[in-house]
Amino acid sequence: MEATRHGSPTENCSDPSPTPLDRGMRLFGFARRALFPLFLLLLNFVSRALFAAEPLVPLAVPLPANLTASAQVIENERDGLWEKTLIVSFPEARRAISTQEGFVVARAAVNHAMHPLLSRHFMSDMRAWDVYIDRIHGKIARSLKTQRRRLATMGTSADMENLAVVTKEYGPFTVTALVTGGAETNALRTGLDEGTHIETSHGTINILLLTNARLSDGAIARAIITVTEAKTAALEDLKVPSSTTKSAQATGTGTDNVIVVSGVSGPRVTYTGGHSRIGELIGKAAYGAVIEALGKQNGFLLPGAEPYVTKGSLKRQAAFESAEKWLSTLDDGELAAAWDAASALAKRTKTREAWDEALTKSRAGLGKAIARKTSRNLPTRALDGLPRGEYMLLEFVSRFENREDLVERITARQDEDGIWRVVDYSIDLQERED
């Protein structure tokens, strides 16, 4: 029986030159086999870089029972940098307003906080930011078995550990304000300071307002004015200056946000201005929560008030005290003592000679140290080129005999014995621009 052409291996091998289509298909097959594993590797890398995080660790936030809402903070860790998300969820959809989305029929209100270094990374590429935040909000919506459009959202780099929750009640009304805030680097005076961005990042002083009262749309919108007035009053009483115009009193930051959520069981309300009882409660709750949040985050305090004590504040205090003691040794020219007091990690990355040379060079021509004050701090568990651990990036604004307003930067590490020690030191010879 004669084999057909397409059934004969011999005849297939003896085909004349392949057609352009044959060559193209063979080239495509080779490229697919060679490049597809690389594509999977790249996709895996990007997915891990953007979205990989440690398991969720929820922490309940108590709320008054008549608000019929539940709140929790979920903490993740991404490449050694924290993410902490406040989620307030409701058993039914509620009318809300968000300065991000506008009016929302919400099943939850969300304040997503990310470590400042993580924020800086994503905000440098707005496309990456959009992908990142959409993924975060999508994950939250799925966990609540709702749609993304049912979330009222805002974001911040303030640490959720410094969340302030203040409740005010009178008669049938209950109002609770949940606030995160930071005003060290982004405060401004509206009407005076210049705006330089068309679009900008998410909020810095974020105020989430809950009430049991059934608010009309007008009352929901009017509550934003009352909240904002309370925030500005708090900034004034704390004497927070504008970051741009140091002689001016700040009225807010350039990236604040507000969410107001109506209740479903309380009295009907159509006006939330300061002349109303509920307006009074809104103002007092927002004012108190802003005072507390900024006190915890930045150390802004009312006259005579005691500093807030948190795990983070104790850690910062220990790191700053250790760094100041080390700087005093350096001010006295005691290089040997500065070396002895440094972290063992520093001694593994530098020789004694290189350490002494770098310190001497950094201070050359500055003269005697006259004064310094603590400035910024940034905790992290991961730094490029260093093993994972508890680190604190510290800044001091310092005045020397021959130069003023210089920024000294210290990387401190909490060693195995629990003591904070210096890993690295640098000084910015360019005067600080505030």
pLDDT at 22: 45
Report whether 213 contacts 273 (CB < 8 A): no
Q: How many domains are contained in the chain? A: 2
CATH number of the domain where residue 379 is located? 3.10.450.50
CATH number at residue 228: 3.60.70
Residue 248: phi and psi, rounded to 5, are -105, 145
Domain membership of residue 111 (yes or no) is yes
CA atoms within 13 A on the CB side of 71: 23
Nearest to 152 by CA among 61, 273, 69: 69
Confidence class for position 120, pLDDT limits 50, 70, 90: confident
Supply the pLDDT for residue 430.
Answer: 55
Give the residue from 111, 162, 107 showing the smallest Cα distance to 136.
Answer: 111
Neighbour-count burial for 370-397, b at 16+ CB within 10 Å, e otherwise: eebebbebebbebbeeeeebebbbbbbb
Specify whether 385 is located in the same domain as 280. Answer: no
Q: Do the Cβ atoms of 276 and 223 come closer than 8 Å? A: no
Q: How confident is the model over 188-213, as pLDDT tens digits?
A: 999 998 887 644 443 489 999 999 99
Q: Among 10-14, 117-121, 301-305, 404-408, which stretch is predicted with the lowest mean pLDDT? A: 10-14
Separation CA 83–CA 74 (nearest Å)? 8
Question: Closest Cα to residue 203, out of 237, 233, 229, 179?
Answer: 179
413 SS3 class? strand
Last residue of a domain, one of 290, 308, 326: 308
In a domain, 391, yes or no: yes
Burial classification of residue 195, based on how many CB atoms lie within 10 Å of its CB (0-12 exposed, 13-18 middle, 19 or more buried): exposed
Residues 300 and 333 in one domain: no
Average confidence (pLDDT) over 75-90: 92
What pLDDT, on a 0 to 100 scale, did the predictor assign at position 269?
98
Whether 34 maps to a domain, the answer reads no
Q: What is the DSSP letter of 305?
A: P
**Which one has a higher pLDDT value, 185 or 418?**
418
Residues of the domain holding 351: 312-428
CB 203 within 8 A of CB 231: no
Residue where the block lists tokens 């940034």? 378
Radius of gyration of the chain (CA): 28
Mean pLDDT, rounded, for 422-426: 96
* Pair 115, 254 in one domain: yes
Q: What are the backbone dihedrals phi and psi of residue 130, each rounded to the nearest 5 degrees, phi first?
A: -60, -45
Q: Are 180 and 293 in contact (CB under 8 A)?
A: yes
pTM: 0.80
Extract the tokens encoding 105: 């029929």
Note whether 185 and 299 are same-domain residues. yes
Of 257, 287, 308, the last residue of a domain is: 308
49 within domain boundaries = no
Query: Are residues 232 and 126 part of one domain?
Result: yes
Residues 285 and 319 reside in one and the same domain = no
Q: What average pLDDT is seen over the chain?
A: 86
What tens digit of pLDDT does each residue of 383-394 get?
A: 888 999 999 999
Q: Between 11 and 252, whose confidence is greater? A: 252
**Is the pLDDT assigned to residue 31 strictly greater than 60?**
no
Query: Residue 423 carries which side chain, given as an amino acid letter?
Result: V
Give strand pairing partners of 211.
175
Q: What is the Cβ-side half-sphere exposure of residue 173, based on CA atoms within 13 angstroms?
A: 18
In this prediction, residue 318 has a pLDDT band, given cuts at 50, 70 and 90, of: very high
Give strand pairing partners of 57.
Answer: 75
Q: Is residue 6 part of a domain?
A: no
pLDDT in tens, 222-247: 999 999 999 999 999 999 999 889 89
Last residue of a domain, one of 280, 308, 336: 308
C-alpha 290/C-alpha 181 separation (Å) is: 7
Give SS3 for 95.
Answer: strand
On whether both 87 and 131 belong to a single domain, the answer is: yes
Could you tell me which of 160, 246, 253 has the C-alpha nearest to residue 205? 253
In this model, does residue 29 exceed pLDDT 70?
A: no
Residue 364 covered by a domain? yes
Query: With the C-alpha atoms ordered 215, 218, 223, 226, is the resulting torsion angle positive or negative?
Result: negative
